A and B are shown apart, each in its own frame.
Chain A
Amino acid sequence: MAGGTELTSNSYIQHHLQNLVFGQLPAGYERVDAEGHSHVLDHAEWTIAHSPQEAVDMGFWAINLDTMGWSIFLGLIFLFFFRRVATAKQTGAPSGFTNLVEMIVEFVNKNVNDIMSVKNPLIGPLALTIFVWVTLMNTMDIVPVDLLPLTAQFIAGDPHFYFKVVPTTDPNITFGLSIGVFILIIYYSIKMKGVGGFLGELAFQPFGKYMVPFNLLLEGIALIAKPVSLALRLFGNLYAGELIFLLIATLLGAALPFFIGSFLGGVLQFVWAVFHILVVLLQAFIFMMLTIVYLSMAHEHH
């Protein structure tokens, strides 16, 4: 929670949707703190943004410490556990966690083999990384909305500390993934068909050589739509899910007497969390499947 003097649903939600941004504020920038005092920076300063406006004013060369940190942390968890299973000594029948890991690997491998007509040693690891990593990042959505931010605020000793824990509700993260996939699409398209083949596909399909500009427009949009739709789908689903958690947390608590509100809110949070498990897995699965499909298309001649 914002913890400020005037707590409204609006500020609560806005506070929750703000990243912990680290970046540079230019010289001459006027900072306003929580108490309303303002002071002007006499030289450019690397710092943590104290308001959404400051975050915006930091420009492109700023980093979201919270989502980036959680993203790396969750990715390392994935790598650590999978690496441990991969290097563990084999002792007869596998059990527990090994089974889970192998089930996921087999599931991903099966999907890759079903879709890909060409063997490519990158696609399997790529799909596995995406599926598990995105699942883990999405799962942060199930963690009660205030638990980690309040913990972070307590540790930082600052009630205004911004802390967004679900990396996939940050478009930077989802676009980071989808642009990675996009680069691979371009790379393999050119590698498999040559620059000419790739451009030819863009220019001479679907309507033949007399409609080149129209073809270029159509195929260009279709190409760009791939990473954009990948990123926005994941971001939109998770952002909306997170927003509903926040809405349940605020609206019911505010509109009803404390105990009834808390109880009803808890029940609703739980119901939505159960439903959300589906979204968590489904979105990770869709991201993975579409990545495989796009890369498979990049390998094929049309």
Chain B
Amino acid sequence: MNFNATLIGQLVTFAIFVWFTMKFVWPLLLKQMEEREARIADGLAAAEEGQKKLAQAQQDSVDEINKGKEKAATIISQAQKRGDEIVEEAKESAKRESERIKEQAFSEIEQEKEKARQDLRNQVATLAVAGAQQILMREVDQNAHNEVLSKISQQL
């Protein structure tokens, strides 16, 4: 165990190494580790935030779907109602139209009837005149007796 200048050499080396560590190693490493720690904390917070947002979004989407479903249901029921109404209206108008057609037909028939009656009267009148002619054996002056004839035909 003999001491020599190695002691001083080691002492100087020690001082230089500690100085180097203090200047160029230790602060950098600590900073690096602190930064990573902060980054990890941020990352975890962001993940939690993301999870929260995801849950919120899921909730929102469910709400949205429910809203949509409700809306669709109302639209369908409205459409059904409207359809019913249209059918009802159509029925109504059809009924009215048929009524109108019927009335028209009736009036036409009435007219036809009237016309036929008129014809018949005229013919009867003619027949009557002819019959009278036959009976009277002479011409009845149509023009002279027109008034009488029309009276008769009116009575018919």
Partner of A63, one of B1, B5, B15: B5
**A208 close to chain B: CB less than 8 A:** no
Which residue of chain A has the shortest Cβ distance to B2 in the bound complex? A56
Given A125-B18, A129-B21: A176 touches B11 (CB 8 Å cut-off):
yes
Stretch at the interface among A64-72, A260-268, A273-281: A64-72
Chain A residues within an 8 Å CB radius of B29: 82, 85-86, 101-102, 105
Cα distance, A23 to B6, chains bound together (Å): 11
- Are A75 and B35 in contact, with the CB atoms below 8 A? no
Cα distance, A129 to B23, chains bound together (Å): 12
Q: How far is the CB of B55 from chain A (nearest CB, A)?
A: 27
Q: Is the interface of A mostly helix, strand, loop or mixed?
A: helix
Chain B residues within an 8 Å CB radius of A56: 2
Cα distance, A83 to B35, chains bound together (Å): 17
Partner of B9, one of A19, A68, A128: A68
Which residue of chain A has the shortest Cβ distance to B4 in the bound complex? A62
- Are B3 and A172 in contact, with the CB atoms below 8 A? yes
- Are B4 and A128 in contact, with the CB atoms below 8 A? no
The 25 listed contacts between A and B (C-beta, < 8 Å) are A23-B4, A56-B2, A60-B4, A61-B5, A62-B5, A64-B6, A68-B6, A68-B13, A75-B13, A83-B25, A101-B29, A106-B33, A122-B18, A124-B22, A125-B18, A126-B21, A129-B18, A133-B17, A170-B6, A171-B1, A172-B4, A172-B6, A173-B6, A175-B10, A176-B8
Known: A79-B21, A171-B3. 16 other contacts (CB 8 A): A60-B4, A62-B5, A63-B4, A63-B5, A79-B20, A79-B25, A86-B29, A90-B36, A102-B32, A102-B33, A124-B30, A125-B18, A125-B21, A125-B26, A126-B22, A129-B17
Please report B residues at the A interface, Cβ cutoff 8 Å.
1-11, 13-15, 17-18, 20-22, 24-30, 32-33, 35-36
